[in-house]
Amino acid sequence: MATTASSPTTATDPAASSAAAATSAPSGRRDAEASKAAIIRAARYLLARHAHGDITLKAVAERAGVSSPLILKYFGNKDALFSHVMSFEADADAFFDAPVADLGAHMVRHLLTGQAERGADPILRIVFAPLHGEQGDILRANFRTQVAHRLSERLAGPDAGLRAELAVGMLIGLGVMYGIARGPCVRSTEIDEITDRYAPAVQALLTPR
């Protein structure tokens, strides 16, 4: 007697359902993270060009390509958003992610790559502190604690605080020339070459005599 092939089951396969859920969930998280990143980039862009009090959530939303309610969903309110934007903590994690012996080159390359590829500088926001009144004071305090002081804690030898501030000052100067003044010679030179020329001076401040 001939046998017939059995029909595929139409019952829900728990393993398949779990796999589908696992596949869709990361996509949703990626979308959320992308939206948050766009909001933060937009807020940083506006913060570098306008006083804090003049920036509206609507302006941030329009630049980020999202809705104002989505900003409220992710950050709660304008103050919470800009509190996040005025923190250097997350940027500093990547900025200082190298052994001290290699840190000068790492910081120079990281700063320039961020400017060239994303138009974002991990520390250059501090330049715009005078625009923001009391909020500028918060920006300065965060910068001193989360960037300059954090760097000084990694340095051995005397005058660690002074050497850290001088090194950070050199990096800010490079960021200004590359990202704000947009010096044509700097911007037309390969990042590796600038790093080879500039990083030794930064590293000299990080290394005790």
Whole-model pTM: value is: 0.74
Please give the CATH topology (third level) of the domain spanning 26-85: Arc Repressor Mutant, subunit A (1.10.10)
- pLDDT averaged per 10 residues in sequence order, the chain, 209 residues: 41 41 54 86 81 87 92 88 85 93 97 85 85 86 96 96 97 94 95 97 94
Tell me the C-alpha to C-alpha distance, in Å, between residue 31 and each of 24, 25, 28, 67, 191.
11, 10, 5, 14, 31
pLDDT, residue 121, reads: 76
pLDDT, residue 26, reads: 62
Q: Which CATH architecture has domain 89-206?
A: Orthogonal Bundle (1.10)
What is the location of CATH 1.10.357.10 in the chain? Answer: 89-206
Query: For residues 93 and 146, what is the distance between their CA atoms, to the nearest angstrom?
Result: 10
Is 41 buried (19+), middle (13-18) or exposed (0-12) by CB count in 10 A?
A: middle
pLDDT, residue 100, reads: 96
Query: For residues 40 and 81, what is the distance between their CA atoms, to the nearest angstrom?
Result: 8
What is the location of CATH 1.10.10.60 in the chain? Answer: 26-85
